[in-house]
A and B are shown apart, each in its own frame.
Chain A
Amino acid sequence: MHDNRYTIIFTTLITMVLAFVLSSVYSSLEEITEANVRADIKKNILTSLGFKPSEEMPWSRENVEAIFNESVQSFVIDDLGKIINDKLPEDIDPKLNVNLFPLYRKVVDGKIEGYAIPISGKGLWGTMYGYFSIEPDGATAKGITFYKHIETPGLGAEVDKPWFQQNYVGKKFIDKNGQLVGIQAIKGKVDDSSSESYHQVDGISGATMTSKGLNNFLLKGLTIYNPYFEQVRKESKG
């Protein structure tokens, strides 16, 4: 039988050995993992902007990088919607630069084909992160994607699914007077004859809290970027 002294020494030693192994593996893989996370963010921006992987061009890390560099311009704007010229999204620290926001623009052959903005906020279980993309008119949804959330599989986690995300495409988040109204996921199916259906999408049954959260933080995100998109709307009309 081992005495208490032995037990304490043994557990201390084994904890130290295991902690050492784990921390050295962690630090040696950290760089690769971070590159994966960055590529994944770019992949999500591309998806929300309507890019799709193909047989010839599967989304490996290199391809994502190449497509992104070729067709997406990154900007930083301030809370008045002005583009800050000497900064890139990588440079902003959300904790320090509370008035600076990243913005991505899809440009193909010199023509603007859409914008993507990050959205995030509380769902039911935790913070959800994604991108919302906007047509060049500055008023129509082009797509929505999520890259991180912990919502219930089969219920709230349906926000990940194409059927749900497809509903946003073509919806307007601006009413006819030019006011920002956001896009609401409602309970049940959207009644197409209703005058409100232009900014409503079918909700997820059994996931009321997730939908509510999503509606709120989508509107919040759009509010932040509204000064910029007001200019976009003016320009696209004029």
Chain B
Amino acid sequence: MSLLSKQSKNTVVDPLMANNPISLQVLGICSALAVTVKMDTAVVMTLAVIAVLSISNTVISLLRKMIPAKVRIIVQLSVIASMVILTDLILQAYMYDISKQLTVFVSLIITNCIIMGRAEAFAMQNGPWRSFLDGLGNALGYGLILIGVAFFRELLGSGTIYGFQVVPDSFYAAGYENMGLMTLSPGAFIILGLIVWAQRIIGKVEQE
């Protein structure tokens, strides 16, 4: 008996690669571009989304039989919004500097289509445990791309990885310059485009 059944395992693993919410479903792009200049903000954003998505999915799944169909979107939104505000409050109390850098983007998790999408498409039909796993998987899939994009943007744009300088001073002395473009939004689009491209080649995704 493994820790997770095969079905549960697929719920978590699927969104990581084969059905990644960002690179395949192309959801949640705006926040993905905004917080990926540096890796530390991308990591904290990922943790915030993991917390919000897995908890809100679980709560909505627990309530799914009680939620009146007419007002289900509003109820889902209030649960999600509350989780986001909660996360924001905790960040402000315990990770103040990072929460200042993330500014509005934590609150904007509310409007992240991945979260509403999972609530409506998965949590309303499935039990709490599987919904939790689905939330976790999708948040990890989101985070994987976020951190991947941030890795390249920080390396090329600032010459650092997670704040540590990796491009040696001798390179700069020899005339190497950081790519300013990478610290701006277009840099994120280019990296993300390349990731999507690479993934479609490796994964041999069927074109619709």
Q: Report A's interface with B, CB cutoff 8 A.
A: 1-2, 6-7, 10-11, 14-15, 18, 21-22, 25-26, 29, 32-33, 36-37, 39-40, 153-154
Q: Is the CB of B69 within 8 A of A22?
A: no
Contact B66 A10 (CB under 8 A): yes
Residue contacts A-B, CB under 8 angstroms, 20 given: A1-B69, A2-B70, A6-B68, A10-B67, A10-B71, A10-B75, A11-B74, A14-B75, A14-B79, A15-B78, A18-B78, A21-B82, A25-B89, A26-B89, A33-B93, A36-B93, A36-B96, A37-B96, A39-B96, A153-B34
Q: Provided the pairs A2-B69, A10-B67 are in contact, do residues A25 and B86 lie with their beta carbons within 8 angstroms?
A: yes
Minimum CB–CB distance from B68 to chain A (whole Å) comes to 4
* Given known A-B contacts A15-B78, A26-B89, A7 and B70 have beta carbons under 8 A apart: yes
Contact A29 B93 (CB under 8 A): yes
Beyond A7-B70, A14-B75: 11 further Cβ-contacts under 8 Å? Answer: A2-B69, A2-B70, A10-B66, A15-B78, A18-B78, A21-B82, A22-B82, A22-B89, A25-B90, A33-B93, A37-B96
A2 near B79: Cβ-Cβ < 8 Å: no
Q: Which B-chain residue is minimally distant from A39 (CB atoms)?
A: B96
- Is there an interface contact between A33 and B89, defined as CB atoms closer than 8 Å? yes
The answer to whether B71 touches A11 (Cβ under 8 A) is: yes
Contact residues in B for A6 (Cβ distance below 8 Å): 68
List B residues 30-56 near A (Cβ within 8 Å). Answer: 34
**Residues of the A chain whose Cβ atoms lie less than 8 Å from the Cβ of B92:** 29, 33, 36
The answer, among A1, A11, A33, A154, for a CB contact under 8 Å with B184, is A154
Q: Would you call A14 and B78 a contact (CB within 8 A)? A: yes
Within the assembled complex, what's the spacing in Å between the Cα atoms of A9 and B86? Answer: 24
The yes or no answer to B161 lying at the interface (CB within 8 A) is no
Residues of B within 8 A of A22 (CB): 82, 85-86, 89
Chain A CB within 8 A of B171 CB? no
**B164 contacts A by Cβ under 8 Å:** no
Residue of A nearest to B100 (CB): A40
Residues of A within 8 A of B96 (CB): 33, 36-37, 39-40
Contacts of B184 in A (CB 8 A): 154
Would you give the shortest CB distance from A59 to chain B, in whole angstroms? Answer: 9
Q: Which of B34, B74, B75, B185 has the most CB of A within 10 A?
A: B75
Distance in angstroms from A148 CB to nearest chain B CB is: 9
CB distance from A187 to the nearest CB of B (A): 21
